[in-house]
Amino acid sequence: MAEYSVLGRGVVRTDARDKVTGRAKYASDVHLPGMLTAKVLRSPFAHARILSIDTSRAERLPGVKMVATGRDIPPVRYGKWMLDRTALALGKVRHIGEPVAAVAAVDKETAEEAIELIRVEYEEIPAVFDPLEAMKPGAPIVHEDLDGYQPLPPQRLSQGNILIQASLKHGDMERGWREAFLIHEDCYSTQPVYHGLMEPHEAVAAVDSGGRATVWSPSKAPFELRRALASIVGLPVSQVRVISTTGGGDFGSRGSPSVEPICMLLAQRTSLPVRMSLTVEEEFVGSYYREAATVTLKVGVKEDGTLVALQGRIVFDTGAYSDVLGHIGGATGHLAGLYDIPNFDVEGCVVYTNNTPRGQCRAPRTPQPIFALESHMDAVARKLGMDPMDFRLKNAVEDGDNLPGRGLLRNAGLKQTLHAVADYLRKEKGASAPFRGWGIACGERTLTPVAQAGPASSAYVRVNEDGTATLFSGISEVGGGQWTAMSQIVAEVLGIPFEHVSVVSGDTELVPHEGGTGGSLTTGRVGTSVRLAAEDARGQLLRLAALRLKVREEELEIGRGQVYAKGTPETAISVADLATAALTSPGGSILGTGRHLREKWVASLAEAKGMVDSAHYCTHAACVEVDAETGQVRVLKYFACHDVGFAINPLLVEGQIEGGVVFGLGYALTEEVINQRGRVLNPSFMDYHLPTAPGLPRIEYATISVPSGLGPFGVKGIGEPPTVPVAPAIANAVYDAVGVRIKDLPLTAEKVLKALKGKTLP
């Protein structure tokens, strides 16, 4: 790593200054002449037929430009995985808060007043809120006409509310159970949690005189949003331009259309720009958040601790729409991702209910199975009388192991992270104290080769006449420092200072196609296209320099803004001079193009088909103290060790680890969207408890580097993994402290206190 001049350095984020000085432009900073404000009328019922809608009084209100119902807009269905929803309800509502009508008016107050004037006649019908109930025959059906939808998942085995079923099998379960010395079975459940956005969903849409639409939205996948919006409003994609504004938090919430479809439909109809934003309260019913899960596990183990069998079942509640559909395959795999278990049988399903919609949230579908798995492994180890660390080290996957459904593992660092945590514990654990305990848990975010190849990414790098470079990329800066890391790659490859790289991003009109930011894949996937684009630009510079210096390209070096023949820096031509000369040379201005080569990735895997690379593994350790009188859990110390492959920017990696752990602490201890028969009872930051700075422990971390064979410079993703093992580490620590195992997240004081009742305490 010593050979890098910009990579591996904790340079200050390119977006830092604008963010701390308030100059960053959010969607709410977009002001257009004549702009209207949109508001929606939401369903008060979880499940009801719409008998009639009377918008006449609302339409007569001065200042109201448009009142739309489901019948006034194209009946286009859309959705992330299945086309099962419309922008405004058609025929019936499926959850409390579903948009039934929309108003565009001259200001917010008028729009709100108009909403009050709309009269809807509903016929309430039986609803279902528990996914286990929803799976039973005779349960109220959320989507009667599901088979008419496109695309219907091929794995859809059942009818009714079961949207999809998946299974992952490996080995011979009978043999596994036969070999087991001990079999342990239990059930775990997790709660729905909200992303906790500081900037609620907001968008501005404008349609020009030619019918071409522009949408400003803090989308993390502007090209995906463009595709979705174009189909919803019935325009070709080039007639829709999405401009990604600064996002006030993403955490998985910015990947699917939210307020944009209604906003755009109203702009189309009124021929005026329209702004629509959600209130914090609306965020809890009008967006989506992490799905609740029920995970049942039965594990067999030999007397020496060797795992021999795992049987499991995961049920995900997707709420009224199908955003969770694609999570189930990965979730079943996560139960097989940490330990080498020869016999394995996991089933999963995603179930519709009349709850508010669920969807992607930081490390989608991972914290739920990992909470179950890592709580369960702790329990098994303790039943065996083994140290949980030794138990994990004995069974942890390593290079060459086969991950069911994924392939042969390589470049994996799980054991190294376990060893690092073991070292930490030897130093930090000290003598045991009453009501204090330590817990460890592992995590992974290990994707299949196909997922690693991911959506297509392309990038351009232009070298400017003053020797600076401009990166054109479709990635959005969602807060993780994406632009900074990409700029570092460009600077490194071109041998110019980091400060000399700027980024043009997030506007579908201006940048090449990009799948989007997310899945802890940005640095690896987008970084590959950026690296190749920069290398292409460098090649153009070198060709030009070779002509001028009259040497062969291979004899040239690039660095500190100069190109020179090896060993003779006095021959140097500056990158600035080369870029200027290029303007009047046959090759033209320096523009490198690059893309994340799906073929190249797949080819590099072909040698061992079905290999898993870029596997991110981590191990966390937590020390908690339990207040026996209140049940309150206080986290005293926290240590996270991650295999990052290679840290392009250690400061950004630190930020992701710290932020991810805090995200996980909320999930473990305080956060829960409380639903009562489909109604959210705590839709505000007063009642929904995000972790706050005063209550946080010091978070220490270490990184190890087992370079990825696929990511540029060996990088692996870091955006999601740190949030994954936090809850089980805390739950295991609570068990260690007071001997009770909380199997239902979050670990509230109430639950702990209840579990402690009747228990003899130290």
Using CB under 8 A as the binding rule, whether residue 12 contacts its own copies is answered as no
Binders of its own copies in range 510-529 (CB under 8 A): 510, 512-513, 529
Report yes or no: 127 and 352 within 8 Å, Cβ to Cβ. no
**DSSP secondary structure, 256-296, as one string:** S-SSHHHHHHHHHHHSS-EEEE--HHHHHHHS-EEPPEEEE
Q: CB of 421: closest distance to its own copies in angstroms?
A: 40
| By CB under 8 A, residue 109 contacts its own copies | no
Q: Is 591 in the site for its own copies (CB under 8 A)?
A: yes
Euclidean distance between CA atoms 280 and 202, whole angstroms: 11
Answer for which of 62, 385, 567, 586 binds its own copies (CB under 8 A) is: 586
**Closest residue by Cα to residue 382 from 313, 438, 310:** 438
Task: Measure the CA–CA gap between 34 and 36, rounded to whole angstroms.
Answer: 6
Least distance between its own copies and beta carbon 239 (Å): 8
How far is C-alpha 400 from the chain's CA centre? 28
Is 236:227 a contact under the CB 8 Å cutoff? no
Instruction: Considering only residues 465 through 504, tell me which ones interact with its own copies, judged by CB under 8 A.
Output: 465-466, 468, 470, 500, 502, 504
Task: List the x/- string, 153-182, binding to its own copies by CB under 8 A.
Answer: ------------------------------
- Residue ranges of the alpha helices (H) in 385-438? 388-395, 414-428
* Least spacing, CB of residue 487 vs its own copies, in Å: 13
CB of 514 to its own copies, least distance (A): 9
Q: How far is the CB of 252 from its own copies (least distance, A)?
A: 24
Dihedral-angle region of residue 399 (phi above 0 means left; psi in -120 to 50 means alpha; beta otherwise): beta
- Residue 452 CA to residue 333 CA, distance in Å, equals 15
CB 275 within 8 A of CB 105: no
Q: Which is nearer to its own copies, 158 or 271 (CB)?
A: 271
The answer to whether the CB of 37 falls within 8 A of the CB of 105 is: yes
The DSSP output letter for 499 is G
* Distance of closest approach, residue 74 Cβ to its own copies, in angstroms: 18
Question: Cβ 456 to its own copies, closest distance in Å?
Answer: 4
> In whole angstroms, how large is the CA radius of gyration of the chain?
27
Interface pick for its own copies out of 2, 3, 21, 758 (rule CB under 8 A): 21
Nearest to its own copies of 45, 460 (CB atom): 460
Task: Considering the complex, state which of residue 276 and residue 471 has its C-beta at the smaller distance from its own copies.
Answer: 471
Residue partners of 31: CB distance under 8 A and separation at least 6: none
Locate tokens 């654990």: which residue? 429
Nearer Cβ to its own copies (33/385):
33
Residue 589 within binding range of its own copies, rule CB under 8 A: yes
- The secondary structure of residue 193, as a DSSP letter, is B
Closest to 288 measured CA to CA, from 242, 325, 333, 241: 325
DSSP-based helix, strand, coil % in the chain, nearest 5: 30, 25, 40
In the region spanning residues 225 to 284, those forming contacts with its own copies, defined by CB under 8 A, are 230, 236-238
CB of 213 to its own copies, least distance (A): 13
Of 405 and 506, which has the nearer Cβ to its own copies? 506
Letter string b/e over residues 247-264, b meaning 16 or more CB atoms within 10 A of that residue's CB: bbebbbbbbbbbbbbbbb
Of all helices (H) and strands (E), which one includes residue 244? strand 240-244
Q: Least Å distance between CB 238 and its own copies?
A: 4
Polymer length of the chain: 762
Closest distance of CB 162 from its own copies, Å: 32
Region from 106-114, 206-214, 298-306, 701-709 binding its own copies, contact rule CB under 8 A = 206-214
Residue 689, CA distances (Å) to 300, 357, 631, 657, 696 in order:
38, 20, 17, 21, 13
Give the nearer residue to its own copies in terms of CB position, either 462 or 637.
Answer: 462
Q: Which is nearer to its own copies, 1 or 16 (CB)?
A: 16
Q: Report the residue number, 242 or 295, with the smaller CB distance to its own copies.
A: 242
407 CB-near residues (< 8 Å, 6+ apart): 448, 449, 609, 610, 611, 612
Residue 9 and residue 649: Cα distance in Å, rounded? 5
Is 62 or 210 the residue whose CB approaches its own copies more closely? 210
Smallest distance, its own copies to C-beta of residue 76, A:
17
Between the alpha carbon of residue 607 and those of residues 198, 349, 404, 406, 601, the distances in Å are 46, 34, 19, 16, 11
Of the residues 1, 4, 17, 692, which one makes contact with its own copies according to CB under 8 A: 17
Query: Does residue 23 interact with its own copies by CB under 8 A?
Result: yes
Name the one range near its own copies by CB under 8 A: 203-211, 398-406, 476-484, 669-677: 203-211
Within 25-54, the residues that bind its own copies by CB under 8 A are: 29, 31, 33
Q: Which is nearer to its own copies, 231 or 375 (CB)?
A: 231
230/338 with CB nearer its own copies: 230
Closest separation between CB of residue 193 and its own copies, Å? 34
In 666-713, alpha helices (H): none
Whether the CB-CB separation of 467 and 496 falls below 8 Å is answered with yes
| Sign of the alpha-carbon dihedral angle for 167, 168, 170, 176 | negative
Minimum distance from residue 31 beta carbon to its own copies (Å): 7
Residue 531 within binding range of its own copies, rule CB under 8 A: no
Nearest approach in angstroms of CB 481 to its own copies is 16
User: What angle do the packed helices 527-549 and 575-583 form, to 10 degrees?
Assistant: 80
For the bound state, the minimum distance from the C-beta of residue 453 to its own copies, rounded and expressed in Å, comes to 9
Q: Which residues fall within 8 angstroms of residue 193, CB to CB, at 6 or more apart?
A: 289, 290, 361, 666, 667, 671, 672, 673
* Beta carbon nearer to its own copies, 74 or 430: 74
Q: How many residues bind its own copies (CB under 8 A)?
A: 45
What is the H or E stretch that residue 39 is in?
Answer: strand 36-42
574 makes contact with its own copies (CB under 8 A): no
x-or-dash string of contact with its own copies, 447-466, rule CB under 8 A: ---------x-x-x-x-xxx
- For its own copies, the closer of residues 411 and 508 by Cβ is 508
Judged on CB neighbours under 10 Å (0-12, 13-18, 19+), 79 is: buried
By C-beta, is 141 or 591 nearer to its own copies? 591
Q: Looking at beta carbons only, is 446 or 508 nearer to its own copies?
A: 508
3, 137, 150, 209: which one contacts its own copies (CB under 8 A)? 209
Rounding to the nearest 10 degrees, give the CA dihedral for residues 595, 597, 600, 602. 160
Nearer to its own copies, 162 or 272 (CB): 272
Quick one: which segment of 313-321, 506-514, 715-723, 746-754 binds its own copies (CB under 8 A)? Answer: 506-514
Residues 597-636 that bind its own copies (CB under 8 A): 597-600
Nearer to its own copies, 206 or 549 (CB): 206
Nearer to its own copies, 318 or 529 (CB): 529
Give the one residue of 365, 525, 595, 743 binding its own copies; rule: CB under 8 A: 595
Sign of CA dihedral 45, 48, 52, 55: positive
Closest CA to 665 of 733, 750, 568: 733
Give the shortest CB-227-to-its own copies separation in angstroms. Answer: 8
Q: Tell how strand 36-42 and strand 289-290 pair up.
A: unpaired
Residues in touch with its own copies (CB under 8 A): 17-18, 21, 23, 29, 31, 33, 208-210, 230, 236-238, 456, 458, 460, 462, 464-466, 468, 470, 500, 502, 504, 509-510, 512-513, 529, 583-586, 588-589, 591, 593-595, 597-600
